[in-house]
Amino acid sequence: MAAGGGKALHEMTPEEARALGAQMASMAGPAPRMARVEEHTVSVAGGAVPVRVLVPLEPPRGVIVYYHGGGWVIGAIDEFDTMARKLAERTSSAVVLVDYRLAPEHRYPVAVDDSYAALEWVGAHMKEIAGSTDVPLVVAGDSAGGNLAAVMALRARDRKGPAIDLQVLIYPVTDADFERPSYVDPENQLLLTRDAMIWFWDHYAPEAKRRTEPDASPIRAKDLSGLPPAVVLTAEHDPLRDEGEAYAARLAEAGVAVDLKRYAGQTHAFFTLLMLPGSELGFQQVVKAVRACIVRKSKGQPALSTR
């Protein structure tokens, strides 16, 4: 991409950036076959949120609600379809992709509200999706989607929403602090740069004072206790590395079980770049955690705790 000589992301319009995301998604390769693919629409204030339900050939033993990345500005469920099908197949779980509305057309907190409405819809339709209400419910996401997944875990706890059994946070956005060491390290200005993150935040939440709200920056939440176990993946050469690891540390301090791994030599977006070997390593961590969650739930065991 660098050799192509195109504009940097922060110099693009949102429309140009969205076209680039679609181009990258075209390299994902063949998608596993599903038993069912269903398209639904969740009604929300001022509009509707499309969701895609992917049910693997093996009867689903869990349900994963997946929020895609893209800085809340780019990305669409079609671009994450192959990745989600692979996740469904390997975890023996139904995966629900959420097409939350994007900024700048729909600024914060629209993506959060859309994401929670979709989560509530899934919670109310577990039997139709997975054939049982007794299987684990997992929230997961990458980058801005990791941000939304973390916020969903907080919202579900605080609003007594759907009971979440596991949160999978893949190089998540957890803060709006552009001065962390990983943000300013020249070696980390690769697929995602400091300038690009500022561009994303400026489109998503242009009012700086709102960026410190826990629904925007979950690391700013006063209390992280009582949240579901967390799987956190970070990349060595990623501006978001430090805030992802800081959030994992805060979760652990609050008594939440955390499976944190930093992937050496990797850059932002490695998990969803399915053609790269780093993606497979990340998948192995996530699949192992989801399968362990399924086993715990089937045995009636409580969520793990570090206390």
Query: Is 2 contained in some domain?
Result: no
Query: Is 181 contained in some domain?
Result: yes
Domain interval for residue 48: 10-26+38-298
Token match 């705790």: residue?
305
Task: Give the C-alpha distances (Å, rounded to integers) separating 52 from 30, 75, 85, 229, 293.
Answer: 18, 14, 11, 25, 23
Tell me the pTM: 0.96
Query: Is 155 contained in some domain?
Result: yes
Query: Is 15 contained in some domain?
Result: yes
The answer to whether the CB of 271 falls within 8 A of the CB of 282 is yes
Residues 164-194 pLDDT 10s? 999 999 999 999 999 999 999 999 999 899 9
The reported pLDDT for the residue numbered 306 is 43
Per-residue tokens: 116: 């929670």
Query: Is 150 contained in some domain?
Result: yes
In the predicted structure, residue 307 carries a pLDDT above the cut 60: no
Residues 52-70 pLDDT 10s? 999 999 999 999 999 999 9
User: How many domains does the chain fold into?
Assistant: 1
> Which strands make up the sheet holding 63-67, listed edge to edge?
36-44, 47-55, 94-98, 63-67, 137-142, 166-170, 230-237, 258-267
The reported pLDDT for the residue numbered 304 is 61
Query: Is 4 contained in some domain?
Result: no
Residues 72-101 pLDDT 10s? 999 999 999 999 999 999 999 999 999 999
The reported pLDDT for the residue numbered 3 is 64
Query: Is 1 contained in some domain?
Result: no
In the predicted structure, residue 284 carries a pLDDT above the cut 80: yes
Task: Give the C-alpha distances (Å, rounded to integers) separating 232 from 66, 134, 146, 170, 183.
Answer: 15, 25, 9, 6, 18
The answer to whether the CB of 68 falls within 8 A of the CB of 75 is yes
The answer to whether the CB of 179 falls within 8 A of the CB of 250 is no
Query: Is 44 contained in some domain?
Result: yes
Residues 124-165 pLDDT 10s? 999 999 999 999 999 999 999 999 999 999 999 999 999 999
Annotated catalytic sites, by residue?
143, 238, 268
44-51 long-range contacts, Cβ below 8 Å, gap at least 24? 44/113, 44/114, 44/117, 45/113, 47/101, 49/98, 49/99, 49/100, 49/101, 49/114, 49/117, 49/118, 50/77, 50/99, 51/96, 51/97, 51/98, 51/99, 51/118, 51/121, 51/122
CATH of the domain at 293: 3.40.50.1820
The reported pLDDT for the residue numbered 32 is 95
In the predicted structure, residue 276 carries a pLDDT above the cut 90: no
In the predicted structure, residue 265 carries a pLDDT above the cut 90: yes
| Percent of the chain whose pLDDT exceeds 90 | 88
